[in-house]
Amino acid sequence: MNSFFQRRYVVQGIFITIAIILLARLFYIQIIDKSYFISANYNVLRKVTIYPARGVILDRKGKILVQNEPVYDLMVIPREVTPFDTLELCRLISLTKEDFKKKFNKANSFSPYRGSTLEKQLSAVTFAKLQEKLFEFPGFYIQKRSVRRYPDSIAAQFLGYINEVNETDIEKSHGFYRPGDYIGRTGVEKAYEEVLRGQRGVQLLMVDAFNRPKGHYSEGRYDTLAAAGEKLISSLDKDLQKFGEQLMKNKIGSIVAIEPSSGEILSFISSPGYDPNLMVGRYKGNNYMRLLNSPNKPLFIRPIQAEYPPGSIFKVINALVGQQFGLINSGTQFFCGGGYRYGRRGLMRCTHVHGTLDLSQSIQHSCNTYYGYVYNRMIDHAGMRPVKAYQKWREAVNRFGVGSKLNIDMPNERRGNLPTAEFYTRHFKSDKWTSSYNISLSIGQAELGITPLQMANVVATVANRGFFYKPHLIKAIGEKNVIKEEFTKKNSVGIDSRYFVPVIEGMSRVVNQPGGTASYSRIPDIEICGKTGTVQNPHGEDHSVFFAFAPRNNPKIAIAVVIENAGFGATWSAPIASLMIEKYLRDSIARPKAYVERILNANLLPGARPRVRPVQRPAGDSTAQKQDLKPIETITPKAVLKDE
């Protein structure tokens, strides 16, 4: 009897133990271990991310610069994959078997239960072929996305490009971005990323045993809608931009055109450029490396990153500052005998023997001698020590936006170089230096470095008679056309408006009177006020520079053109600027066909034409020494400089 009861308790204990084990296992599976729950869910539900369309970018007239085009990512849930025809899938998506294995293993390592991207950005044609046979490949499905498309293939550096986020981007976004998302990497796409990106949405779809969608889970109650990014209305004039890029074909340099009354950038050209569509699609990586390794650096954004000595266009600033300081006026005359002598043996040569010139004539004929005397007065005869006078001069020049960032709404802008007094004092190991030690600053050479954007802003300031609006690329944001307040603020350069009168008169004569350095670029019935410049280049021919505004009264456009290794400013930069001005103001070109074709057909790339051997200049050649990072020797008293 006792034995019977003992056996009963043993059997009961066994059953109780088994029950406890089963309950514990169920508790572990359902509460602690999520793998079965995830697997079950993904057998029935599929969580699909709805990626928003990025905001479109329009030109100032509402014409499309950037739009969106649908593409399709092939996704995979590794745990749901069953044996299938691997070679057939690889054939459909143009992928090698080896690459397929690598990508599948990577997806499986990321998560066997969650969808991962196997192949990105399939075209609509490829998607159509794959869609018909997708049921043959369990565990694979399609994720719809959109990519950028550039209908006119222009303004690549202006617009920038997008790229997949990296770990740093994800960390900085505090969870907004996830692997596989895209982000603006350069240009406007980067500067306005938060406006353009939109907000992703989510759909929960019911799927059958063949991984085919069968409708929304719970009638879509748990779905969220994607919100498209805001549109941007750029300041760019599409037709002007396209024309400018045609003019700059086979040339290295920049064109920046600004509307003086607003600071809106009408044209932003960096040459050589590239087709922005190359930075979209499955072959983007290969295209990027080819562009990156190109000797002419098409990815380099020259309007805001290239720094050049401005050459003779800098005489405009010195003419204005000299008047503001009360050291010259419109009637001040100096005699040009072919050069300006300084120190014991120094000579800054002029292109001609100009004789006696007043201020307007000095601009018209671009007389180096005149500005040697002007700079001498500002530094050596200002009633203070030359070092203090130089500091005062530098502050006045800096107010034009030279030597500091203009903070354009685009990343990676450079500030240029406007040497400080301390720089020269350190070099000479004394603060007793005078104007003869850096006289080449009088004609825009030596250590000066100015970006094309800064050049355009200077001439826009002249057009406005003493103030500028911050140059910007986007004039309005979204459906409400929001305008940033900082773009509506006037920035005064501290020069009285009356001092612009003789300078603008001289700039008008440069183009519109015989003997002006850019008279070849005159446009009938449009009064252009401009200034040519020729920037020394020890590695080849000089750089061609020109800036201008038009018309003289109520200016509508201010423009700066820089062409590397092209020689005199009057030969190439001035004609290009005048054609751009005519195109913008008249919407057509009335000049002879040969005039336009000369520019369009010119190939000024290095090696494309016979090289002119550089002039053998002494150690005082400012540009040559600047390239060797030895600015000290650029200011020796024996320098022999040339300009227009």
Token duo for residue 596: 């336009």
Answer for the pair 439, 433: CB distance below 8 angstroms, yes or no: no
Reply yes or no: is the peptide bond before residue 272 cis, omega within 30 of 0: yes
Residue with tokens 């021919």: 541
Query: 3-state DSSP call for residue 242?
Result: helix
- For residue 228, what are the contacts with CB-CB under 8 A and spacing of at least 6? 52, 53, 54, 55, 198
CA distance 422 to 444: 19
- For residue 25, what are the contacts with CB-CB under 8 A and spacing of at least 6? none
- For residue 432, what are the contacts with CB-CB under 8 A and spacing of at least 6? none
Choose between 582 and 619: higher pLDDT: 582
Per-residue pLDDT reduced to its tens digit, 419-443: 999 999 998 889 999 999 999 999 9
Query: 3-state DSSP call for residue 510?
Result: helix
pLDDT > 70 fraction of the chain, expressed in percent and rounded? 88
Answer for the pair 190, 411: CB distance below 8 angstroms, yes or no: yes
CA distance 7 to 4: 5
CA distance 493 to 311: 21
Choose between 114 and 368: higher pLDDT: 368
**pLDDT for residue 599 is more than 80:** yes
Answer for the pair 70, 108: CB distance below 8 angstroms, yes or no: no
Answer for the pair 607, 627: CB distance below 8 angstroms, yes or no: no
CA 282 vs CA 84, 224, 277, 287, 583: distances in Å: 25, 29, 11, 10, 38
Answer for the pair 511, 519: CB distance below 8 angstroms, yes or no: yes
The two beta strands, 57-58 and 232-234, are parallel
CA distance 596 to 579: 8
Per-residue pLDDT reduced to its tens digit, 45-85: 667 778 888 999 999 999 999 999 888 889 888 888 888 88
Per-residue pLDDT reduced to its tens digit, 277-289: 999 887 888 999 9
Per-residue pLDDT reduced to its tens digit, 294-321: 999 999 999 999 999 999 999 999 999 9
CA distance 369 to 362: 9
pLDDT > 90 fraction of the chain, expressed in percent and rounded? 58
Q: DSSP letter for 558, please.
A: E
Per-residue pLDDT reduced to its tens digit, 439-470: 999 999 989 999 999 999 999 999 999 999 99
Q: What is the pLDDT of residue 348?
A: 93
Per-residue pLDDT reduced to its tens digit, 26-45: 777 666 665 555 455 555 66
pTM of the predicted model over 0.85: no
Which is nearest to 110 in space by CA: 83, 161, 134, 75? Answer: 75
Q: Where are the alpha helices (DSSP H) in 472-601?
A: 500-512, 573-586, 593-600
Q: What is the pLDDT of residue 41?
A: 53
Task: Give the mean model confidence (pLDDT) for residues 481-503.
Answer: 94
Q: What is the pLDDT of residue 314?
A: 96
Can you say whether the dihedral through the CA atoms of 444, 445, 447, 451 is positive or negative? positive
Least confident of 118-132, 150-164, 324-338, 506-520: 118-132
Token duo for residue 419: 């040497």
Q: What rounded mean pLDDT belongs to the chain?
A: 86
Residues pairing with 66 in the sheet = 57
